[in-house]
């Protein structure tokens, strides 16, 4: 995760450090906002998952998945900055 953040801070346009939270089960949560969009990464051990939202409708305006490598995160970051 540390490598992912360092690479992203250099390669991603408009980079901002995230808001940090600890989840109820001890996961690290990183959150960014841009306009009506939000991006949350959840780090649980070696697994990194994401939730991206562009509205309040859970069925139609949110998506989740797993971040496997730096290009995955960079694509999410580009989406957030659009």
76 pLDDT higher than 70:
yes
Reported as a single tens digit per residue, the pLDDT across 15-64 is 778 899 998 889 999 999 999 999 999 999 889 999 999 998 878 999 99
Instruction: Enter the pTM of the model.
Output: 0.82
Domain region containing 67 = 2-81
**Phi, psi at 21, each rounded to 5°:** -140, 160
Residue 35, Ramachandran bin (φ over 0: left; ψ between -120 and 50: alpha; else beta): left
How many domains is the chain partitioned into structurally? 1
Looking at residue 10, its pLDDT comes to 53
CA 11-4-56 angle, to 5 degrees, is 90
């Amino acid at each position: 995760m540390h490598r992912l953040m360092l690479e992203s801070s250099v390669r991603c346009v408009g980079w901002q450090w995230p808001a940090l939270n600890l989840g109820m089960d001890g996961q690290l949560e990183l959150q960014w906002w841009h306009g009506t969009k939000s991006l949350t990464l959840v780090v649980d051990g070696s697994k990194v998952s994401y939730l991206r939202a562009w509205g309040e409708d859970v069925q139609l305006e949110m998506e989740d998945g797993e971040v496997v490598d730096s290009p995955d995160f960079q694509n999410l970051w580009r989406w957030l900055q659009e």
